[in-house]
Structure 1
Amino acid sequence: MASVFFYEPYYDIERLVNQAFAPRDTQSTFQRQQNLVDGAVRSLKPRMDLHENDEQNVVTATFEFPGVSKDNIQIDVHNGRLTVSAETKEAEDVNESEYAVRERRFGKYSRTLQLPQGVKDEEIKASMENGVLNITFPKTTAEQAPKRITIS
């Protein structure tokens, strides 16, 4: 049984094109990144790798959260969807005009995955080390595994 995971391959391309053609004014990089999309502020998406292990019947989602402690990351499960989110804030003690180069991103990070049907909350495990969050959950549950029916 193949799992279905939604992935937005063009998200980064769209973001880069929008940044390239954004007006160069006094707005900070963060303010330019937070342009309104469809009437809502678009949050940043953490980088993710998704690995399926058929032998162990496990899916591992690995997220990058550089510089974010595990206490500042939220993992929520609702209606079969797993949402990982965090928020980083820029230092307020540095004046904007004092930067020579500014590439770090600040703001709300969020990513949502559709879980396989039947996954229970207690089957989801999370660990974090060096800014890398690993979340594992079953690829299929016993209830979803194929069953053979014998003919009587």
Structure 2
Amino acid sequence: MSRRHGRSHAGSAEGPGAPGQRSPGRVTLLDLSDETGFKPLSDVTEADDSVRIRLELPGVPTASVQVRVRGDCVEVSGEKLPDFPQGEASYLCLERIFGRFRRVFEVVGAVNLSQVSARLRDGILEVSIPKVRERRGRERSIPVTEG
């Protein structure tokens, strides 16, 4: 948990064994999800060309999943419905979780949020966020207009 935000880091520029160290060009990803209800488990990986968020969504149909980009955030939401019709019988044991879910990941770094793609296969949703080459240190002229 981040003490400053009260949120967990789904992935960060701080890799295991490198506390407090940031590498240039790395992406920081904060999990801004609600802490209540059904929360699909996720893994976040970073490669040279992309950041990938994988969420476990077994039994959730593709039509029930929405992926949105809002500002610097990637939001995954949907609903996992019970596969047993209500009223036919009573549960003796209910361990699986059903209901609405929402995961929000803030992506900070050199990524192209206009090119995000998502694929649901075998109960795993993979959201791919392509990286862009960092432009830090490049010089460019900014035109000044009159008026």
- Normalising by structure 2, we get a TM-score of 0.64
Match among 24, 28, 52 for residue 4 of structure 1: 28
1:146 aligns to what?
Answer: 136
Q: Which amino acid aligns with 2:28?
A: V
* CA deviation vs aligned residue, 1:64-120 (integer Å, no higher than 9, x gap): 11101111101111121110011123332334xx32221111111111111235644
User: Which residue is 2:40 aligned to?
Assistant: 46
State the partner residue of 1:35.
none
| CA-to-aligned-CA distance 1:29-52 (integer Å, 9 cap, x gap) | xxxxxxxxxxxxx33211101110
Contact 1:75 1:83 in 2 (8 A): yes
- CA contact under 8 A between 2:26 and 2:109: conserved in structure 1? no
CA distance in structure 2 between the partners assigned to 1:117 and 1:51 by the alignment: 14
Is 1:73 the counterpart of 2:97 in the alignment? no
Aligned partner of 1:112 in structure 2 is 104
Q: Distance in 2 between matches of 1:148 and 1:60?
A: 27
Instruction: Look up the match of 1:92.
Output: 86
Check whether the contact 2:68–2:76 (CA below 8 A) recurs between aligned residues.
yes
Distance 2:125 2:97 in 1: 18
Secondary structure of 1:100's partner?
Answer: coil
Shift of 1:53: 0.5
Note if contact 2:72-2:106 (Cα within 8 Å) is conserved in structure 1: yes
**One-letter amino acid of the counterpart of residue 77, structure 1:** V
Indicate the structure with greater helix content.
Answer: 1
One-letter amino acid of the counterpart of residue 45, structure 2: H
**Map of 2:75 onto structure 1:** 83
How far apart are the structure 1 equivalents of 2:98 and 2:88? 14
Change (3 A) 1:78 1:118: farther
Identical counterparts, % of pairs: 25
Q: How many pairs are equivalent?
A: 111
5+ residue gaps, structure 1, are: 12-41
Whole-Å Cα distance in 1 between the matches of residues 110 and 96 of structure 2? 39
